[in-house]
Structure 1
Amino acid sequence: MTKKQSRCINGYLGQNFIVKLCCYFKFLRALEEDAVSILTLEFNYLRPYKREQLSTSGDRLADKNGGGNSHESEALSFELLRCCFGAKLLNIEMEIQYFPRGGTKVDYTCSINGITLGVSVTRLVEKERRAKNIDPFNIRDVKKFLEKKLKGLQNALKNVMKKWDKPVLFVWAESPRLAKLAEDAWENIDECLKANTILFSVSVGEEYCSMFHNPNYFKNKVTMTTSSRKRMND
């Protein structure tokens, strides 16, 4: 562990970002138990995404995430799990096999302490609603949003050929208010739908933040391939 990178129960400080968690042992217990759990974290960039030094696995997610517009959110969700909880990447989206095909998918699978996680990453953002003069999200909106994602996770687990042990719904929230709404909405969702899912509700600081930009941002962004990044060890 270098001076620029440290891990503790209360948080993580690295070269790319800072995470305030205060839920380290709660997460480890949730891994072992067949029960739902919610973890609320705070995430702040230390440098813009295009200048971040991702791990080899983070680069795999950034470069080969199935052709979507979610390069940053998926790669950084894994980097957070790796740096804070020791996650190891197993398969990216296009490597996971399902039968029948054509249903919902998870974004990647990883393992922590020998337990396999199927991770679905999403973003809770109000920028476009504000631009269109639509009312801000309320708890009903967020509950409906989370329920849709949970149904997708259940469908993916039903059809995947190699099962994972725990489903994870990883939500990047544009603001602490949205993260709190996700936490409150989670408590009102039917337990059968949540199954044994772990929810990460992560509020993101504004400085350097680009993951909530319009998808055209990703089309115009200069792609940094694995060969052009300075990699960190997994």
Structure 2
Amino acid sequence: MAGHERIPSPPGRPACAHPAATAKRQAEETRRLNHRKPSEVCAFGYTFVLAPGFSIRLDSEHSVLLRSFVREQGLAVVIDSELQPRWSAWSRLLPCLSADAQRVFHNANAGGASHISEALSMEVLHRAFGARLGLTELELIYWPTNGAITDFSIELEGTELGVSVTRAFGYGAELSVAQAEGLLCKKLSGVLASTATSCHGWKKQLLHIWCRAQADVEILRLAYTRLAPALVADTVVLVTLCTNLPELYTERGDKACRQPRACKGLKDDEHLRILAESDPLRFTHAMHVQVQ
């Protein structure tokens, strides 16, 4: 034999599968999925949004209603949706999220076990309705500062909105009407309070509620009908059923990561130094001290 002949690899199988090359291909595939525009399919009275990491099902009319109601003051509505993740593990789903959802997940919040629910909320609003992230929880400013706060702000259909995210499910039992009504009262009251004290441009908010069972969705809708009109106000409520992503409901907060909100008007040491140097009477003060 005059030389060594290379034995061809079987069809469809690479000649070598170096770990670094495999990781690079996976990263490139993830980036490709993240930048791919979600497609919509309309069938059987529903709109199906096909995103990289999941699919979303919406009533065709509700898909239009949400876009319309967020622009108008004094209009409240409950929108139902269902999310089917491609994987049941959050670690598999996270790399497929958009840059806005990644930012919500990785940025610090005011505490609590809500990173997954808030990031996934941003992803749904982005993929299904074209929303863009404005500010995250600790970037938002209120006055007074000791009241209710919202989770993040978005721009949707040219309108700035606040977004509050919560989860509705029973602990060890089915969700009761009383529990659902209490949750809605608490969250809708917080929405009205944070809108009133916000230093930003939104006049309206969207309350996004995650449910892990269809029965919880029905209970939530029943409880909503019992609320006072002044509490419902003009808040748009988006209810999303997600049954096979356990970490969405079992996430635990990390107290070590909790960061207090900075009070409006609070000045750090550097700011105080600059103010002292700009004091026009500083030389007079210094001379007065020397004379004494």
Which structure's CA Rg is the greater one? 2
Aligned equivalents of 2:129 and 2:166: distance in 1? 20
Matches within 5 A, 1:111-122: 111-122=155-166
Give the equivalent residue in structure 2 for 1:41.
81
Opposite residue 193 of structure 1, the aligned amino acid is L
Give the equivalent residue in structure 2 for 1:86.
130
Opposite residue 179 of structure 2, the aligned amino acid is D
Structure with bigger helix share is: 2
1:105 partner SS: coil
Aligned equivalents of 1:104 and 1:4: distance in 2? 35
Opposite residue 195 of structure 2, the aligned amino acid is L
* 1:159 Cα deviation after fit: 1.0
Are residues 1:162 and 2:205 paired? no
Matches within 5 A, 1:43-82: 43-47=83-87, 48-52=89-93, 53-66=96-109, 67-82=111-126
1:1-20 CA distance string (max 9 Å, x none): 98894124512112211111
Opposite residue 141 of structure 2, the aligned amino acid is Q
1:61 partner SS: helix
Give the equivalent residue in structure 2 for 1:28.
67
Q: Give unpaired runs (5+ residues) of structure 2.
A: 1-31, 256-292
* 1:214 Cα deviation after fit: 4.8
- CA RMSD across the alignment: 2.1
Aligned equivalents of 1:137 and 1:24: distance in 2? 27
Aligned equivalents of 1:33 and 1:114: distance in 2? 12
1:45–1:209 contact (8 Å) kept in structure 2: no
1:11–1:19 contact (8 Å) kept in structure 2: yes
Aligned partner (choices 217, 221, 227) of residue 179 of structure 1 = 217
Give the aligned length: 211
Aligned equivalents of 1:4 and 1:160: distance in 2? 33
Q: Give unpaired runs (5+ residues) of structure 1.
A: 220-234
Give the equivalent residue in structure 1 for 2:26.
none
Choose 75-84 or 6-15, whichever is displaced more.
6-15
1:40–1:183 contact (8 Å) kept in structure 2: no
